[in-house]
Amino acid sequence: MSRRRQEAGMGQAAERDVALAEPDARILALAGADRARIQGLLSAAAEHFTATGWRVMGVIEEIAADGEDVWLRDLVTGARHKLTQDLGPGAAGCTLDPAGLAAACALVQAAVDAWASEPQTQPAVVILSKFGRQEAEGRGLTHAFHAAVAADLPVLTSVSPTVAGQWEAFAGPLARIAPVEMAAVAGWQERLAPA
């Protein structure tokens, strides 16, 4: 099945899941669009949550205009961690820089730990750029996901169709898939809001 067809199919399933989402779904995973659109919506969602009085922690991807370089931007500190590395001319290996990914994950974990140690005066959310191949293999942002769930914080993320099975095994009943639409995020936020 082509990637475009996989994404389209995931989008249809996502629409059904949002309609059936239980109020206690603590994790919302966006799916069914390209990387730039998903990361753009996660960025807009971070701004929306902040504007509505929520504390926002986590990381989102920022992609260079040429698509070559990618950074994770920490939503608390603004720090940027480069995820790509130059392997030199003719190199064909993976360009992911695991050190950048680990540093970004550590900042998210520190922010969650700090939040958990303070009196809670406002609702909070953790936004994590994606659950991808690294996370499916227990690396990447896996520890940030674990920290957020252990602190009982809601998580907004995205999931690649190529790791949908691993995502289901990882998140189980805590998560729902949603289309890449602000209305889906805003509806989830309403269901999370304290009474």
Q: How confident is the model at residue 97 (pLDDT cuts 50, 70, 90)?
A: confident
- Token couple for 11: 């989008």
According to the model, what pLDDT value does residue 61 have? 93
**pTM of the prediction?**
0.83
Q: Is the pLDDT of residue 152 over 70?
A: yes
Q: What is the largest CA-CA distance in the chain?
A: 58
CB of 27 closer than 8 Å to CB of 171: yes
Give the pLDDT of residue 6: 37
Please answer whether residues 142 and 103 qualify as being in contact, where contact means their C-beta atoms are separated by less than 8 angstroms. Answer: no
Exposed, middle or buried: residue 155 (CB in 10 Å: 0-12, 13-18, 19+)? buried
pLDDT above 80: residue 70: yes
Residue 17, pLDDT score: 45
Task: Tell me which of 11-25, 34-48, 116-130, 168-182 is least confident.
Answer: 11-25
Superfamily of domain 3-192: P-loop containing nucleotide triphosphate hydrolases (3.40.50.300)
Q: How far, in Å, CA of 4 to CA of 13, rounded?
A: 14
Of 64-68, 111-115, 127-131, give the lowest mean pLDDT range: 64-68
Report d(CA 181, CA 189) in Å as an integer. Answer: 13
25-40 pLDDT, tens digit per residue, is 899 999 999 989 999 9
pLDDT, mean over the chain = 83
Residue with tokens 């807009």: 44
pLDDT at 65 over 90: no
pLDDT at 5 > cutoff 50:
no
Whether residue 107 contacts residue 76, with contact meaning beta carbons closer than 8 Å, is answered with: yes
Count of helices and strands (H, E) across the chain: 7, 7
